Amino acid sequence: MSKKPKTAKNCVAGKGKMRDRRHVARRGPLVVYNEDNGVVQACRNLPGVELANVESLNLLQLAPGGHMGRFIVWTQGAFNRLNEIWGSVTRESTQKSGYTLPRNMMTNSDITRLINSDEVQSKVRDPVKVIKGSRLKKNPLKNLGVKVRLNPYAAHIAKSEKLAQERRAAGKADKIKKCRNKSQAAVYGRIIGN
């Protein structure tokens, strides 16, 4: 019945071996029964096969590791007992007082059709067409335009600084020219004197 769990018995990696978790095996089928007429005794020695009473179903046994789709073998009695224990969406359970299965909140699960319907679209506001980007932060110490926006007097200071620099450059050029003329005159004077 369960060859796969029998062959897939492995030794656990790591320190789990020291903590009574030495071996791990694949999960086999789950047998759900209503009355134990020798079912437990018949299946207890089969590797991987688990047993569960329909009165006390365990979610960790029905979907181990949160994975749906375990192979479950239901006995006829257990299958008939399900309706009595859990009831249905319209009928109450006979075992649990006032319990019905939770019903779906949505009757129509076609969400795309619901969203695109005229009733919903008439209430939804129009999409934003203009995408407004954030302004790039510029350094006012390096960018004069930003500096002037922060301090309007900065333009006057920059202009006066530029004029002063031009005056200094002109004065320096004048001084160099005078010095050169003087030194040339001295050289010519010596040549003529000799």
pLDDT at residue 1 tops 60: no
193 pLDDT band, cuts 50/70/90, is low
For residues 171, 172, 176, 177, the Cα torsion angle rounded to the nearest 10 degrees is -30
More confident position, 105 or 31: 31
CA angle 130, 134, 140 (to 5 degrees): 140
Going by CATH, does the domain composed of 3-104 fall within 3.40.1370.10? Answer: yes
Q: For residue 62, which amino acid is it?
A: L
The first and second tokens of residue 146, run together, are: 């930003």
Place of tokens 């019903």: 103
Half-sphere exposure of 17 (CA within 13 A, CB side): 6
DSSP the chain: --HHHHHT-EEPPSGGGGGT--EE-----EEEESS-SSHHHHHTTSTT-EEEEGGG--HHHHSGGG-----EEEPHHHHHHHHHHH--SSS--SSSTT--PPPPS-S---HHHHHTSHHHHHHSPPPP-S--PPPPP--TTT-HHHHHHH-TTHHHHHHHHHHHHHHHHHHHHHHHHHHHHHHHHHHHHHHHH-
pLDDT of residue 5: 66
pTM of this prediction? 0.51
Domain edges within the chain: 3-104, 144-193
pLDDT at residue 166 tops 90: yes
At 73-85, the pLDDT tens digits run 999 999 999 989 9
Q: Report the distance separating Cα 51 and Cα 30, nearest Å.
A: 6
